[in-house]
Structure 1
Amino acid sequence: MSIDYFMSILKPMLEGAQMTVLLFFIAIVVSIPLGFLLTLAVKSRFKPLAWLAQTYVYLMRGTPLLLQLLVICFGLPMLPVVGEYLVLDRFVAACLGFILNYAAYFAEIFRGGLLSIDKGQYEASQVLGLNKWQTMTKIIVPQMFRVALPAVSNETVTLVKDTALLYAVAVPELLHFAQTAVNRDFTIMPFFVAGLIYLIMTLILTMFFKWLERKFKFE
């Protein structure tokens, strides 16, 4: 593969990677806090809310993300009466699908983090005179996040790779441009270039989370 050919395919693939990165950041920024709210709903003493949250988490984790994307992009507009109001831009629909799916996974991760915290922590906060909000924000959440961080890191790296599913709903991302170059030039090299770009993105994320783990370990 010549340098000229490499540069000719690299530019459109980097443009596709911008779409990949944009989806990743939108999904992470929204799904993590939504996942935490789902965790609180699952642990709620109000049984109907807890049951709804548990059912949602089960459905989203029990069905493929690709299926969910297809339903949101192509299935919702086919619903009678309301379908015409549910036609979304493909990228917006994909963002919605990723957010709803990953929120369920983060909810389970945070639930595991909360379960790992000893009940004595709650009792100690009461002795110190902290209210429920102070207990949650100053005592429980920092410890939960420290425990959940490795799992969050793993799920975040998985999210980067799952962005390739945008190809299935006709959103022009990194893999789309790689496939276009393969079909046009009859060479497999664009796939290797796409793989290299994915590896660079996951390496950056891995290094960032390793830094976070070291920071929380020594604090």
Structure 2
Amino acid sequence: MPSAAARLTPGPRRAARRRAAHLLSEALSPFILVTLVLVWVALLTDPRWWWAALLSAVFFAGIPWLASRAMVRRGLATDPFIRHRRQRHLFYGIALASMLLGAASLLLVPTSEAVRWSGVLGVGTQLTALIINTRLKISIHALTAALAAVIVPAGLDHPVWWVVGMLVWAAASWSRLELRRHTGLDIVLGSLLGASVGAALLAILGGLPTMG
């Protein structure tokens, strides 16, 4: 019979899976994927894309990222992705305020309608996530991965990118399940919301210009 310590110690395969999951969670974090989507939409639709991309990245990803780090340093959150639902209320409120400022700034500067709609839908998505968080801990990793899996391939002129997008979504979702940060329901809700927002943006815009 193995000792209690041996039973509690993960085996080599389990440890390797957890290391891979940690790496994927960091590489496919919501802050990175949100920045990717917003910069991508600006790049495809705005000739002066760098200005709108910078504003979008700062207000929709940069400030929320800084807020999550500040909450960890002050002991208000246990980790940068804030896995405990009750700790998320403050973060979602800060992120929503930042996104509202970002959406307002995008209405004031010269940019494309696609970028502006991205900002509006971003605010709506954050507000929806905040409401859901009062009852369930929706997976923001799954949400942003599903959003990226819809938006990024839509601007690339080859069907293989849809497969890549699905793999990215699957990897992000698996990482959160493997680390036991979310339940299957959290992943499903996040994925449905992210995919719905992506589909809504494409429907409103009538699609995105493609980059061959």
The TM-score with structure 1 as length reference comes to 0.32
The structure, 1 or 2, with the larger RCO (C-alpha pairs under 8 Å, 6+ apart) is: 1
The TM-score with structure 2 as length reference comes to 0.32
Highest CA radius of gyration, 1 or 2? 1
